[in-house]
Amino acid sequence: MRALVKTNAAPGLTLRDEPRPTPGPGEVLIRPHKVSICGTDLHIHNWDAWAAKTVPVPNIIGHEFVGRVEQVGEGVTLVKPGDRVSGEGHVVCGVCRNCRAGREHLCIDTKGVGVNRAGCFADALVIPEHNVYPLPDNLPDEIASILDPLGNAVHTALSFDLAGEDVLITGAGPIGLMSAAICRHVGARHVVVTDLNEGRLKLAETMGASRGVRADADLRAVMGELGMREGFDVGLEMSGAPAALDAMIGTMNHGGHIGLLGIFARDVTLDLNRAIFKGLQIKGIYGREMFDTWHKAVAMLQSGLDVSPVITHRLPFEKFQSGFDALNAGDACKVILEM
């Protein structure tokens, strides 16, 4: 089968022939028909410090997909061959305290599809039945292929009470943009999105942001224009930029809530006393709640949430390199590869 492989510890990816896996007991073999490139895949492609210490080589990469079940292992009852599915990319241990308490997103031994185990940028993917997410017929394929990052946005945004609140989102990548649409969908008042990329800021305004603001602009002035006197009630950090978190802490209202999703590439030095004196609550977010986040994401899509503007590129699988290049150049947001 065709597979996009990180063959050795260096930048780049290789499209090559790999043996087709077989599903063991409790496992499902899926044939992906659309896959989507995540920022994580870009880190692996570019082979940065995080990738070098995390990803074993060789490994088939990718974890965002929609596909059809082709074969099921012994004992599988959730799905049958032909069913259209997506899947959760975090494979959890099932036996740690959090897993047994039903908090699988907090598993202490999570393995990542396409990170520490074989991924979906291939003609076949094997994952545990537990990770398979059967799809309703009325969900378009393209949207189904980005449920994983949409889930990151849903998990982060819906961690907080948003109705009538003023929200600051730092980072207008696909996840920040989808979060803006979610905040609007559930009734936030002002949604301000910051980034350094003008194209992405325009996209933020088409996806429901009150304002898309350059990260180096005066946020207090923007708050004044919007009639916000005190500060943001909710902050969603989705850039991984220390400067963005600093600006966020500086503009939060007292008692505000911050969700940290963006992954910082290096250690961060901040004046945290401001968080203490403001009584801020800060929550780290990893992945998606299994499977309540998936349920809420699909339910919101079915009740009018539109995240389709984040999809900027559609390419045949063989043209994968153009997709990675467009992402590295900052020209693309979500790139879908058609298998």
Contacts of 305 (CB under 8 A, 6+ apart): 181, 182, 185
DSSP state letter for 117? B
Which of helix, strand or coil describes residue 211?
A: strand
Out of 36, 131, 194, 210, name the contact with ligand NAD by CB under 6 A. Answer: 194
Of the candidate spans 24-32, 165-173, 204-212, 219-227, the one that interacts with ligand NAD by CB under 6 A turns out to be 165-173
Of the candidate spans 23-31, 74-82, 92-100, 171-179, the one that interacts with ligand NAD by CB under 6 A turns out to be 171-179
Q: Known catalytic residue: 63?
A: no
Choose among 196, 181, 195: nearest CA to 146: 181
- Token pair for 64: 């965002």
What torsion do the CA atoms of 60, 63, 66, 70 make, to the nearest 10 degrees? 50
Q: Known catalytic residue: 77?
A: no
Which of helix, strand or coil describes residue 240?
A: coil
Residues 54-93, one symbol each (x = binds Zn ion by CB under 5 A, - = not), give --------------------------------------xx
Residues 271-290, one symbol each (x = binds ligand NAD by CB under 6 A, - = not), give --------------xxx---
Confirm if 232 and 169 have CB atoms less than 8 A apart: no
Contacted by 335, from Zn ion, ligand NAD, none: CB < 5 to 8 Å by type: none
Strand partners, 231: none
CB of 102 to Zn ion, least distance (A): 11
Out of 62, 67, 128, 173, name the contact with ligand NAD by CB under 6 A. Answer: 173
d(Cα 301, Cα 306) in Å, to the nearest integer? Answer: 7
Nearer to ligand NAD, 28 or 238 (CB): 238
What torsion do the CA atoms of 9, 11, 16, 21 make, to the nearest 10 degrees? 50
d(Cα 42, Cα 93) in Å, to the nearest integer? Answer: 26
Report the interface residues with ligand NAD, using CB under 6 A: 39, 152, 170-176, 194-197, 200, 215, 238-241, 243-244, 261-263, 285-287
Which residues form the interface with Zn ion (CB under 5 A)?
A: 92-93, 96, 99, 107
Q: Which residues carry out catalysis?
A: 40, 43
